[in-house]
Amino acid sequence: MAVVMEAQGTRAVAGTRPRVLMVSPRFLPHLGGVETHVYELARRINQDGITVEVMTIDDTGLLPEAEELAGLKIWRVPGFRSSGEARIAPGLVRAIRNGHWDILHIQHFHAGVAPLALWAARAAGIPTVVTFHGGGQRHWLRLRLWPPQPSLVAPLVLDATRALLRKAAALIAVAQFEIDTLSPRLGIPRARFTLIPNGFDPPASVQRDTPRDPSAPRLVSMGRLVQGKGHHRVIAALPHVLAARPGATLWIAGDGPMKQELAERAASAGVAERVRFHAIPASERPRLMAELANQDVLVAISDFEAHPLSVIEALSLGLSAVVAEDRGGLSEIASQGLARCVAPNAAPQELAKAILAEIDDPSQVSPRAFPTWNDCAARTREIYERILLENGLQSPPGAGEARRVSD
């Protein structure tokens, strides 16, 4: 990481442009909700008087150590997967401590990455902001920090991490359930959390260009091809949907390590010809939105979603949705009457029944204004400015209003 250390410069002084580092376990070109959140937020704030850079983990060894994207400087620290999607990067501590940042913003409290970043920031005296994205519930709160930990070590690590979180300058939740869950588990008052939902910018000119056909419904399951996204559950339900709607198709919109296994599951179920695997890069968002607009029902049966952007995007384009009762973001959407809900472990026949019901009687999505990415950036910027003032740094011009950035 020598190039990172040489490029960072010094911390800001009053009247100069402050420097914020966002740390995320994954970032573009990888696809996902957290990756989208970091990209949309960072590029907006970076154009409005605060320098924002992104540091992420490269467990492939194939991506450049440093590059620029949409005006953002991206740093990648070599790392590896400790288990499943959890990432560890020993060099992260040195990179953060030697970087001379004014604020460290941890995006996604993911096993391994976030605790290391917290400890490094504390040692360097850098104020920290944490946006959980559901990661605290799924990983470290269940002691899945690194595999496997001695029984006496894991509780000590967990207690130390909780203590550091209590000292963070700001804690951000993207959904209400995070506050309800994390506040009692961490022993942190609910008032310490700020709720800032993910943003969404509806496409300006995307319209459906194929007619709906209830006898041949187009289903879509979006997200990274990993176990937790539940694509395999949708494939298992497809034969039962086809029994009632022989013209039905399923688009698996994503890429990932389970692609071959999912294709084999489709073949074993006898539906390979009705399933299409096709990932559209985030850099081609207009094409993604245009293709999504021509689907009928989004089926989101993830184990857990903090604030599911794919569902919000689908609803805004006129699709209906069937989602899992995940006690998280999917459940919140269903509770608002915006989607039909099923148990995450529902039998394939039950999931198919819900999909068919949604085809015949789509949920009525009430018109509502989803927060935009500019809203999200403006509220996050306000938090940065408060922290800068508390640390004796002058707020940059334009306080409180994030500049609009074209898509």
Is 218-360 in the same CATH topology as 2-199+372-390?
A: yes
Question: Which helix (H) or strand (E) is 347 found in, with range?
Answer: none
Grade residue 139 by pLDDT with cuts at 50, 70 and 90.
very low
Average pLDDT over residues 280-300: 88
Q: Which tens digits make up the pLDDT trace of 378-394?
A: 999 999 999 999 988 75
pLDDT of residue 143: 37
Query: Is residue 299 classed exposed, middle or buried when 0-12, 13-18 and 19+ CB atoms within 10 A define those classes?
Result: buried
Torsion angles phi and psi, residue 379, rounded to 5: -70, -35
**Boundaries of every domain in the chain:** 2-199+372-390, 218-360
First to last CA, the chain: 32
Average pLDDT over residues 331-360: 92
pLDDT of residue 272: 97
Average pLDDT over residues 123-127: 93
> Is the pLDDT assigned to residue 346 strictly greater than 80?
yes
Q: What is the DSSP string of 221-233?
A: EES-SSGGG-HHH
Q: Locate 107 and state its tokens.
A: 């995006």
Higher-confidence residue of 97 and 231: namely 231
SS3 call for 74:
strand
Contact by Cβ (8 Å): 137, 180: no
Taking the C-alpha atoms of residue 113 and residue 312, their distance in angstroms, rounded to an integer, is: 28
pLDDT of residue 377: 95
Average pLDDT over residues 281-309: 87
The model scores a pTM over 0.75? no
Q: Which tens digits make up the pLDDT trace of 209-252?
A: 888 899 999 999 999 899 999 999 999 999 999 999 999 999 99
Taking the C-alpha atoms of residue 296 and residue 298, their distance in angstroms, rounded to an integer, is: 7
Average pLDDT over residues 319-340: 87
Torsion, Cα 30 118 173 338, to 10 degrees, reads 30
Average pLDDT over residues 174-201: 89
Grade residue 208 by pLDDT with cuts at 50, 70 and 90.
confident
Q: Which tens digits make up the pLDDT trace of 12-39?
A: 665 578 999 999 998 988 877 788 899 9
Q: Among candidates 218, 193, 183, 19, which has minimal Cα distance to 105?
A: 19
**Any bridge partners for residue 340, and if so which?**
322
Q: Which tens digits make up the pLDDT trace of 66-77?
A: 999 989 999 999
Q: Among candidates 64, 61, 136, 128, which has minimal Cα distance to 96?
A: 128
Grade residue 337 by pLDDT with cuts at 50, 70 and 90.
confident
Q: Among candidates 102, 64, 142, 39, which has minimal Cα distance to 376?
A: 39
Q: 240-247: which pairs have CB atoms within 8 A and are 24 or more residues apart?
A: 240/348, 240/349, 240/351, 240/352, 240/353, 241/217, 241/352, 241/355, 241/356, 242/271, 242/274, 244/352, 244/356, 245/214, 245/215, 245/216, 245/217, 245/356, 245/359, 246/215, 247/213, 247/215, 247/216, 247/217
Q: Locate 374 and state its tokens.
A: 């500019």
Torsion, Cα 168 381 174 24, to 10 degrees, reads -70
Contact by Cβ (8 Å): 234, 301: yes
Q: Does domain 218-360 have CATH number 3.40.50.2000?
A: yes
Q: What percent of the chain has pLDDT over 70?
A: 83
Q: Does domain 2-199+372-390 have CATH number 3.30.70.1710?
A: no
Distances (CA, A) of 407 to 30, 200, 268: 18, 11, 41
pLDDT of residue 154: 54
Grade residue 146 by pLDDT with cuts at 50, 70 and 90.
very low
Q: Among candidates 96, 146, 145, 152, which has minimal Cα distance to 125?
A: 96
pLDDT of residue 49: 82
